A and B are shown apart, each in its own frame.
Chain A
Amino acid sequence: MPIVKFIEFNGKEHDIDANNGESIMVAATSNLVPGIDADCGGECSCATCHVLIGAEWQSKLETRTDSEESMLDLNPDRTDESRLSCQIIMSDNLDGIVVNLPEFQY
């Protein structure tokens, strides 16, 4: 099982065993990682699963879809590293991915 390293805004780390085929959002909520609300359940409808992923891992991810891009665009904490974690599906080649959590979800 690939591992996701979540780092909370306060620096606290959580190494989580994710299942292949499930989203990073599901890996977080199934393991009680705080900081991801995911109100819409993964439909890319609410943008409350915002995370930050560094360039070295971004290059291994599929690029943002139009709808993910639009949902993120107006987030006040938006950076080049911003992603919606419900849209990133785990696989072995993402083993060890580092996911930083923002201070707030909007």
Chain B
Amino acid sequence: MVIIGAGQAAGQAAASLRQEGYEGSITIIGEESQPPYQRPPLSKAYLSGELPMERVLVRPAKFYDDKNITLHTGTRVESINRGTKSIATDDGQTFNYEKLLIATGSRPRKLSIPGSDLNGIHYLRTIDDVDGIRAAMENAKSLCIVGGGYIGLEVAAVAASSGLKVTVLEMESRILQRVTTPEMSEYYHALHTERGVNVMVNTGVSGFSGEGSVNEVLCGDDVRVQADLVIVGIGIIPNVELAEAAGIDCENGITVDAHCRTSDEDIYAAGDCTNHPNPILGRRLRLESVPNAMEQARVACANMLGGDKTYASVPWFWSDQYDLKLQMVGFSGDGDESVLRGDKAANQFAVFYLKDGNVVAVDAVNSPKEFMVCKQLYGKAVDKAALADPEVELKTLLN
């Protein structure tokens, strides 16, 4: 078994193959120098210094030796040869596979505008990226974040808490526009403003200026933001090029079926790079999410070993900003009405989203019970008045 990529899906896949009793050879090939690690803490507790590197690894470094899993780090796969069922790497090696798992993940979308190659402009995807950002933050006074998505806002929270002057620039009319409702955008906008972050919407970046290193972000002719450090978080691009070059079907990600199998029956894919069907939601998705990477890895491995496992999970996500834990189930955009439970002013509330009276999503801020109940209420009808009343025990809604 060969796994291309060494991220969270790859680490989980290697563990799952052994857990399922597979005793043959397992090879993981990844470009980064670290063993598989978790990315979510990178913009949160790893950036703040709360979590050391050992604690973000998917499995301890010695796990791979212990379990006889060959890990090639710092190695790039150049091509997949489906005819000979082999892959070639940039150090001239060839690996034969019986079954192949593509877990190549995604990469940050880059800006290509005047000044975008100046020093001091960073992207956040890898441990090396964050080590660079952390070092730069020590000497920086002002940080400008380009893009008001979850990554950008999480970094804003860490940086503002450590005393930096922080500006967030969002080209759309509201932050988190792509992923949440106007109501939640407004809440997070107010939260960051309260904590001293300058959030500017309807503000696209046109360039950067500085002598060798950035010191100003230019937004059209009128607006200039002073910053000695810039972090760009404007979305990610799935890494499909290897699969595409091998003639595997791709459309907004590597196309897989409910078994995580690609258009080649011996090649599977898992994680951010896939475009997969979700039978519960009734549509195809490409997700940037850890639970998705983990579950797809488990499903793919079971099937690579001859099993018949189907991927069918309700997506869920989380985001930590300041002392607030946001936990989400489903997609708020699927709802046609919403029900608020709790108190926004107290930073403890949940917004449930319903479609035709059935629960399809929740955004829960410091409300883990509401998050957990939504996982169980998903797709079911609910008494709206009871749901909105914090005095009503959530357990009674499950009957």
Residues of B in contact, count (CB < 8 Å)? 32
Number of residue pairs across A and B with beta carbons under 8 Å?
A: 63
User: Nearest residue in B to A39 (C-beta to C-beta)?
Assistant: B291
Residues of B within 8 A of A47 (CB): 372
Q: Helix, strand, loop or mixed for chain B's interface?
A: helix
Q: How far is the CA of A43 from the CA of B154 in the complex (A)?
A: 15
Residues of A within 8 A of B295 (CB): 39
Residues of B within 8 A of A73 (CB): 369, 372, 395
Residues of A in contact, count (CB < 8 Å)? 22
Q: How far is the CA of A39 from the CA of B12 in the complex (A)?
A: 10
CB distance from B305 to the nearest CB of A (A): 14
B267-302 interface with A by 8 A CB criterion:
290-291, 294-295
Q: Helix, strand, loop or mixed for chain A's interface?
A: loop
B362-387 interface with A by 8 A CB criterion:
367-369, 372-373, 375-376
Contact assessment for A30 and B294 in the assembled complex, using a CB-CB cutoff below 8 Å: no
Report which of B290, B367, B372, B394 forms a contact with A41, defined as CB distance below 8 A.
B290
Report which of B41, B55, B294 forms a contact with A39, defined as CB distance below 8 A.
B294
Contact assessment for B372 and A45 in the assembled complex, using a CB-CB cutoff below 8 Å: no
Q: Is A46's beta carbon under 8 Å from chain B? A: yes
Residues of A within 8 A of B369 (CB): 70-71, 73-74
CB distance from A65 to the nearest CB of B (A): 11
Contact assessment for B18 and A74 in the assembled complex, using a CB-CB cutoff below 8 Å: no
Stretch of B59-67, B136-144, B353-361 that contacts chain A = B59-67
Residues of B within 8 A of A74 (CB): 369, 372-373, 376, 394-395, 398
Q: Is A37's beta carbon under 8 Å from chain B? A: yes
CB distance from B26 to the nearest CB of A (A): 13
Q: How far is the CA of A41 from the CA of B55 in the complex (A)?
A: 9
Contact assessment for A32 and B291 in the assembled complex, using a CB-CB cutoff below 8 Å: no
CB distance from A77 to the nearest CB of B (A): 12
Most central of A26, A40, A42 by chain B CB within 10 Å: A40
B66-87 interface with A by 8 A CB criterion:
67
Contact assessment for A41 and B63 in the assembled complex, using a CB-CB cutoff below 8 Å: no
Residues of B within 8 A of A42 (CB): 55
User: Nearest residue in A to B327 (C-beta to C-beta)?
Assistant: A45
> Across chains A and B, which 5 residue pairs bring their CB atoms closest together, nearest first?
A70-B368, A74-B372, A41-B38, A39-B291, A32-B19
15 contacts across the A-B interface (CB closer than 8 A): A32-B19, A34-B19, A39-B291, A39-B294, A40-B291, A41-B40, A41-B41, A41-B56, A42-B55, A43-B41, A45-B327, A46-B316, A70-B369, A70-B372, A73-B372
**Which residues of B are at the interface with A, using a C-beta cutoff of 8 A?**
15, 18-19, 38, 40-41, 55-56, 58-60, 63, 67, 290-291, 294-295, 316, 318, 320, 325, 327, 367-369, 372-373, 375-376, 394-395, 398
